[in-house]
Chains A and B, each alone.
Chain A
Amino acid sequence: MDNIDRQIINQLQDGFPVCPAPYQHAAQQLGISEAELLARLQALLADGTLSRFGPLYHAERVGGALTLAAVKVPLERYDEVTDIINAFPEVAHNYQRNHVLNMWFVLATETPAQLQQALADIEQQTGLPVYNMPKINEYFVGLRLEA
């Protein structure tokens, strides 16, 4: 990652233009060519520096449902339960965390009913209670990370 990559990351975290040739527009602001911006974005996505490039949707406003859930997984069953939970396409992210509640995942579905069904299926397939923690109120979602 060089200085141009850093500028791309720092300047393009929001406000990407909606116009016929948006990469050209953004490239001009960065002082590089459209082809170079496209190649650098491709490389930053390929090596995982960017996890995606595009619109970030607000799940509930687009009719979808989202929740955070946790499970207390016995250590001897950790790999098996990981496989069961990760197999659900509704599970967007899953993290091991240093707590008695040692597995935390985000479920995202297109409808609230699908979310409840996925939670019930996970409990049934793992035999473990799922601690469902849907947001009651949102105070902030954002943050620009400096590269």
Chain B
Amino acid sequence: MDATDLALMRATQAGLPLVPEPYQALAEQLGISAEQVMARLVAMQAAGSIRRIGAVPNHYKLGYRYNGMTVWNVPDVHVDALGAQIGQLPFVSHCYHRPRHLPEWPYNLFAMVHGKSLAEVDGQIAQISAVLGEFNLGGEVLYSTRILKKTGFRSG
């Protein structure tokens, strides 16, 4: 990432221009050529700095009303192996190892799940629990009850 990549990231943080030649429009804004803009976007995708280019849908608007943050307490020695398995479940959008805050917060494995009904999400939670098996030392599901802020910024 150099200064031009950073400028390109800032210019596209809110999205690509909705014009027939969006990379040309960005090029004019940044004072470089459209070929350079395209080459840098391709390079950033190859390096993993850009995860993907495309549409980011709003879960709620597509009918995914039940978006649960499932959190689990699993032994630290097994968290990587279990996290890899949970991350591969088709309904999990994000899966991370995060720190505990004992005693109030014993959970170290986070998996976001998305469903159109409570029953669907309950089934997903049961599947996660089955994968964790004997290493499931406790879990909870936190649903969002209100969106307090949501900006255009999307990253992960």
Residues of A1-45 contacting chain B, CB below 8 A: 8-9, 12-16, 18-24, 34, 38, 41-42, 44-45
Residue of A19, A47, A137 touching B38 (CB-CB under 8 A): A19
Known contacts A42-B18, A56-B50, A56-B52; decide if A9 and B42 are in contact (CB<8 Å): no
- Minimum CB–CB distance from B153 to chain A (whole Å) comes to 4
Q: Is A124 in contact with chain B by the CB < 8 A criterion?
A: no
B145 touches A96 (CB 8 A): yes
Contact bitstring A83-122, B, C-beta under 8 A = 1, else 0:
0011000011111111111011100100000000000000
B15 touches A52 (CB 8 A): yes
- Main secondary structure, interface of A, reads mixed
Known contacts A18-B41, A50-B56; decide if A57 and B9 are in contact (CB<8 Å): yes
Known contacts A24-B20, A38-B20, A145-B62; decide if A139 and B84 are in contact (CB<8 Å): yes
Bound-state CA distance A23–B87 (Å) is 32
Residues of B31-81 contacting chain A, CB below 8 A: 34, 38, 41-42, 44-45, 47-59, 61-62, 64, 69, 79-80
- Minimum CB–CB distance from A43 to chain B (whole Å) comes to 11
User: Which chain B positions have C-beta within 8 A of A93?
Assistant: 147, 149-151
- Minimum CB–CB distance from A141 to chain B (whole Å) comes to 5
- Minimum CB–CB distance from B142 to chain A (whole Å) comes to 4
User: Which chain A positions have C-beta within 8 A of B98?
Assistant: 68, 133-136
Interface size class of B (residues with CB under 8 A): 35 or more
A142 touches B93 (CB 8 A): yes
Known contacts A13-B57, A38-B20, A53-B56; decide if A61 and B48 are in contact (CB<8 Å): yes
Interface-centre pick from B57, B83, B93, B143 (highest chain A CB count, 10 A): B57
Return the chain A residue nearest B81 by Cβ: A139
A140 touches B69 (CB 8 A): no
Interface size class of A (residues with CB under 8 A): 35 or more
A20 touches B16 (CB 8 A): no
Bound-state CA distance A14–B34 (Å) is 21
Return the chain B residue nearest A57 by Cβ: B155
Q: Is A128 in contact with chain B by the CB < 8 A criterion?
A: no
B54 touches A97 (CB 8 A): no
Bound-state CA distance A51–B142 (Å) is 22
CB pairs A–B below 8 angstroms (19 shown): A12-B54, A22-B22, A51-B57, A52-B152, A54-B53, A55-B50, A64-B155, A85-B148, A85-B149, A92-B155, A94-B147, A96-B145, A97-B142, A104-B142, A131-B101, A136-B96, A140-B86, A140-B93, A141-B94
Contacts A20-B21, A58-B155 supplied; 5 other A-B pairs, CB < 8 Å: A47-B61, A48-B58, A57-B49, A58-B51, A131-B104
